């Protein structure tokens, strides 16, 4: 990276035939190699999905879950939902609340023993094996064994230790230390690993490699049934979890029809239902009600409208979005994502800041106080035929539940923290129910259903707003993907708005004069101001790739 006027930048990756992005260089190189050797985007994405489960264990693992959006060269689009869900024995009142219980837009606190956020009872039924393998079966061209081979080799040879590994392990060190297998792997010598540490420049995962080898031979069944499943269940039941071997055996990823949403002459291919997809649609609709180009990118007028649009959308998201309501009423995500609803809501945006917004009134809706945060990873692939994949997957929190299943190397998620621990709420725990996800990756296509661009990001509750900003940067302001991903961002998901100091004093002062509560922050490695986006865009006859500034990940093309 080079420094110019206190701004670091990266060169944009350019390729004629294919492009990938991933949050570690090793994984991006795996995806690019598969494209170069004749694999399609689905092959590359699935191989990277399993490889990132090895390379970025604080964010993802085969004990987690996620979503994959596939835009095929023939114009068809699909969303594979493999998010974790509650086990069959999980009752709505499975968690005991303390006198300090609190529910707000940052999550739920005050559950006894923090049982919904860490340890055995925080684990949802994982989907990170079944989902990608279903996509490979449906649209890929390679065998499971060939596709998993790079991840297996990475686990056996080891992953280079980075300062991110040190930082993330240090952040949750007490949780990791509670579980012997987790501490043995991720806290060598009782402490977080250090980059270039003498005698240990890489972390090796031989037990995880052996587990992946069994999956390579036996497919998803080798994970969800038999010895591996029995070990997962035994470990969780010993900690008081209600999960059964039948919960694993019955786990089924779902192929859903995407939400298609217009944006400035393009179509956004979004995830449907209780995800970030409907919220991306609402934000971009609210923004497109104005003449964005005349406002000017990141001008005071533009950022004001962006903050207000994000706040309006967040109010609706927290109020209504979940998979299903206990009394059977439908969740109005389609209405929240509609142009008509945006037109109704957009009239409430005035020239000055609103302290807060009440939720709107979609028909038949029920209020739903809900958290929305996680630690995730994002990757993408675009092949020479025009097949495009965007994939986000997660363990939910840093290192998930903190539990590594003995003898398997499998780190398990803590997705149960996404449920409302109070019975009788729209998002209360229920058998087989999937919680709301902030995952928001998006593929952009033209009227002929040909892909134009894609973007996504890891970053918990910040994902929705960041992804929307990258989309607007690329589509409304014609930015290349690198410029779109390294631009100054806002995060309006707290009690005020975190704003990048690079917006400039004039913009910040103007916004404050309008009544905005701002928290100016330098964009840097830690703490994160926004989510960590990457993007690919077709420009002329080339594919261009970009990724945010402060990550070890890369875009790689050929």
Residues belonging to the chain: 558
Residue 376 appears among annotated catalytic residues: yes
Q: How much is the pLDDT for 324?
A: 55
Residue 545 CA to residue 536 CA, distance in Å, equals 4
Query: 1: which 2 tokens?
Result: 């990276």
- Token pair 């009440």 in the structure block, residue: 358
- What is the four-CA torsion angle of 94, 369, 491, 508, rounded to 10 degrees? -140
Other CB atoms within 10 A of residue 436 CB: 26
**HSE-up (13 A, CA, CB side) for residue 100:** 6
Other CB atoms within 10 A of residue 97 CB: 16
DSSP notation for 143-156: -HHHHHHHHHHHHH
Other CB atoms within 10 A of residue 202 CB: 12
- pLDDT tens string 471-507: 999 999 999 999 999 999 999 988 899 999 999 999 9
Q: What does the radius of gyration of the chain's CA atoms come to, in whole angstroms?
A: 22
Q: How much is the pLDDT for 9?
A: 86
Residue 286 CA to residue 283 CA, distance in Å, equals 5
**Residue 140 backbone zone (phi > 0: left; psi -120 to 50: alpha; other: beta):** beta
- pLDDT tens string 127-137: 999 999 999 99
Residue 52 CA to residue 435 CA, distance in Å, equals 23
Q: How far apart are the first and last CA of the chain?
A: 21
Per-residue burial over 299-329, b if 16 or more Cβ lie within 10 Å, else e, is bbbbbbbbbbbbbbbbbbbbbbbbbbbbeee
Q: How much is the pLDDT for 498?
A: 96
Strand order in the sheet with 534-539: 13-15, 542-547, 534-539, 451-456, 442-445, 266-270, 259-263
Instruction: Dihedral sign for Cα 485, 58, 27, 135, please.
Output: negative
Residue 391 CA to residue 469 CA, distance in Å, equals 19
Residue 299 CA to residue 282 CA, distance in Å, equals 21
Q: How much is the pLDDT for 278?
A: 96
Residue ranges of the chain with pLDDT lower than 50? Answer: 1-6, 326-328, 364-374
Instruction: Dihedral sign for Cα 305, 308, 312, 314, please.
Output: positive
Q: Identify which of 18, 131, 189 has the alpha carbon closest to the alpha carbon of residue 439.
A: 131
DSSP notation for 357-393: ------TT----------EEEEEEEE-TTS-EEEEEE
Instruction: Dihedral sign for Cα 286, 290, 292, 297, please.
Output: negative
Residue 284 CA to residue 292 CA, distance in Å, equals 11
**Residue of 376, 392, 394, 467 marked active site:** 376
**Between the CA of residue 339 and those of 49, 260, 343, 481, what are the distances in Å?**
34, 12, 6, 26
Residues 6+ positions from 114 with CB-CB distance below 8 Å: none
């Amino acid at each position: 990276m080079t420094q110019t006027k206190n701004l670091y930048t990266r060169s944009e990756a350019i390729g004629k035939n294919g492009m990938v992005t991933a949050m570690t260089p090793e994984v991006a190189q795996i995806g690019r190699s598969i494209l170069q050797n004749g694999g399609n985007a689905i092959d590359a994405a699935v191989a990277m999905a399993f490889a990132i489960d090895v390379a970025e264990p604080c964010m993802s693992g085969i004990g987690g879950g996620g979503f994959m959006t596939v835009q095929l060269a023939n114009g068809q689009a699909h969303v594979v939902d493999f998010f974790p869900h509650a086990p069959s024995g999980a009752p709505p009142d499975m968690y005991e609340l303390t006198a300090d219980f609190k529910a707000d837009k940052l999550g739920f606190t005050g559950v006894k023993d923090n049982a919904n956020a860490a340890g055995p009872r925080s684990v949802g039924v994982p989907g990170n094996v079944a989902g990608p393998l279903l996509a490979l079966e449906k649209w890929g061209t390679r065998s499971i064994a060939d596709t998993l081979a790079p991840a297996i080799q990475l686990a056996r040879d080891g992953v280079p230790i980075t300062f991110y590994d040190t930082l993330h392990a240090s952040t949750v060190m007490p949780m990791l230390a509670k579980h012997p297998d987790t501490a043995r792997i991720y806290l060598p010598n009782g402490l977080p690993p250090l980059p270039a540490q003498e005698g240990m420049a890489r972390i090796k995962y031989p037990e995880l490699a052996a587990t992946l080898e069994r999956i390579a031979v036996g497919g998803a069944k080798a994970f969800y049934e038999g010895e591996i499943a029995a070990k997962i269940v035994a470990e969780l039941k010993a900690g008081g979890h209600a999960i059964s071997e039948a919960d694993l055996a019955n786990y089924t990823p779902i192929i859903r029809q995407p939400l298609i949403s217009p944006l400035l002459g393009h179509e956004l291919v979004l995830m449907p239902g209780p995800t970030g997809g409907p919220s991306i649609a609402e934000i971009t609709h609210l923004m497109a009600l104005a003449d964005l180009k005349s406002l000017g990118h990141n001008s005071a007028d533009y950022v004001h409208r962006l903050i207000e649009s994000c706040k309006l959308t967040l109010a609706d998201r927290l109020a209504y979005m979940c998979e299903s309501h206990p009394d059977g009423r439908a969740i109005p995500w389609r209405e929240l994502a509609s142009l008509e609803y945006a037109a109704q809501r957009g009239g409430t945006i005035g020239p000055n800041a609103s302290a807060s917004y009440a939720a709107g009134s979609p028909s038949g809706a029920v209020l739903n106080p809900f958290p929305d945060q996680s630690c995730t990873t994002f990757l993408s692939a675009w092949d020479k035929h025009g097949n495009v994949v965007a994939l986000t997957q997660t363990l939910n929190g840093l290192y998930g539940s903190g539990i590594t299943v003995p003898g398997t190397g499998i780190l398990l998620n803590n997705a149960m923290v996404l449920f409302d621990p109070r019975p009788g709420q729209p998002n209360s725990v229920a058998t087989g129910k999937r919680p709301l996800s902030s995952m928001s990756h998006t593929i952009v296509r033209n009227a002929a259903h040909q892909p134009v661009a894609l973007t996504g990001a890891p970053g918990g509750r910040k994902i929705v707003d960041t992804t929307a900003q990258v989309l607007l940067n690329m589509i409304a302001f014609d930015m290349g993907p690198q410029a779109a991903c390294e631009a100054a961002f806002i995060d309006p998901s707290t009690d005020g708005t975190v704003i990048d100091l690079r917006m400039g004093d004039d913009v910040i002062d103007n916004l404050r004069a309008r009544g905005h509560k701002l928290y100016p922050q330098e964009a840097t490695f830690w703490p994160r101001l926004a989510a960590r986006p990457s993007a690919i865009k077709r420009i002329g006859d080339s594919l261009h790739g970009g990724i945010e500034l402060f990550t070890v990940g890369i875009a790689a093309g050929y």
